[in-house]
Copies of this chain bind each other. A is one copy, B any other.
Amino acid sequence: MNIEQILKSLPLFKNLPDTIIRNLADGAAAQKYNKGKVLFIHGEAARSYYLLRSGWIKLFRETLDGTQAVIDILHAGSIFGDSALFDQDTYPYSAEVVEAAEIIALPLGQLKQAIETDHGLALAMLRATAEKRQQQDSEIEHRSVQSAPQRIGCFILRLVHKDSSGPVTVHLPYDKTLVAARLGMQPETFSRALSKLRHETGIHVRGASIEIKSIDQLSRYSCSACSSSFPCKTLHAAG
């Protein structure tokens, strides 16, 4: 699949005229990176935005003393770095590969131009941005009102497909340490909180795989401290 086709398959770029797609793809470069690769850092001048084809990317900010605040962990299909368009062309966060990844780098300039040219694209971007804003509202709420075990339960629930109801098994998408960071807690806290969650909700944990006997029980425990009830929309995506 060539880059134009890939772009066309994205919800954001769906229905765009071919001429614009072609222009967006001009100068694009696909590349593979190993774990640990830092794609860009917070504050750096931005020339590209990125499309993640496979692997996992961590978006984060770092304070002077080295403490990281993880903003999001992205999976295949995510676009990131495009926020730089609205921040004086500097990246508002850093991005690091946490699981070997295939990434397509695209020139920001063309995207900017395309948004200014194509009304449909501007609307699609607006919709996508607004959606992420609301996910962030939820994120802020989660972090301020949920306990560590509840946050983990909420995270697990979001790994379950919407419509399932009986017993399900899900797999943590990446390291527990990373999940912990994603949820804003220490690995030790994660470990202890997960075992508390186990006792409270009867889930069964074996390594990265988690068996949920009763989704209802899990969501009753996890979502009681949240304004939105179970099919919670906060997902994993950023840009």
Tell me the A residues contacting B by CB distance below 8 Å. Answer: 42, 61-65, 67, 69, 71, 83, 85-87, 92-93, 115-116, 119, 122-123, 125-127, 129-134, 136-137, 139-141, 143-145, 184, 224-227
Most chain B CB within 10 A, of A140, A224, A225, is at: A140
**How far is it, in angstroms, between the C-alpha of A61 and the C-alpha of B225 when the chains are bound?**
11
Check if B134 sits within 8 Å of A65, measured CB to CB: no
Give the number of times this chain occurs in the complex, counting copies.
2
If A61-B227, A69-B227, A119-B119 are given as contacts, then 20 extra A-B residue pairs at C-beta distance below 8 Å, sorted by A number, are: A61-B137, A63-B145, A63-B227, A67-B225, A69-B140, A69-B141, A71-B137, A83-B134, A86-B130, A86-B131, A86-B134, A119-B122, A122-B126, A126-B126, A132-B133, A133-B133, A133-B136, A136-B140, A143-B143, A143-B144
Contacts of A143 in B (CB 8 A): 140, 143-144
The answer to whether B224 and A83 touch across the interface, beta carbons within 8 angstroms, is no
B115 close to A64 (CB less than 8 A): no
